[in-house]
Amino acid sequence: MRSPARHGPPGKPKKFETSLSRTEEIKRHKRQIERKRSVVEAQIAALRAGYEAEEEELKKNITEMEAREKAAAQQRARIASLGMADKEGGHAKK
């Protein structure tokens, strides 16, 4: 006589139990895939957000540096033109 614990309850064929367990395993694997996909997508979103914040900060720094460089170049040009005025007219423009 077969043991019910080993082969399932009486009246259910073993083939049905195997098919059911495979179906459940397939479902479990599909859920696992979806969970992993969600985790990866969340990580990508977090990385993207971090990158975008850093990019904005760097662009702001670049804009400020360019403005300072432009102001410095204008200041150098004014100083140079004042130096030329001194040489030509003997005194600087005020």
CA 20, 25, 28, 29 torsion-angle sign: negative
* Interval 42-83: pLDDT, tens: 999 999 999 999 999 999 999 999 999 999 999 999 999 988
Joined together, the tokens standing for residue 59 give 């662009």
Query: What amino acid is encoded at 94 in this protein?
Result: K
* Interval 6-24: pLDDT, tens: 555 565 567 767 888 999 9
List the one residue out of 30, 29, 22 whose CA is nearest residue 14.
Answer: 22
Q: Report residue 19 CA to chain centroid gap.
A: 43
User: Cα–Cα distance between 29 and 23 in angstroms, integer?
Assistant: 10
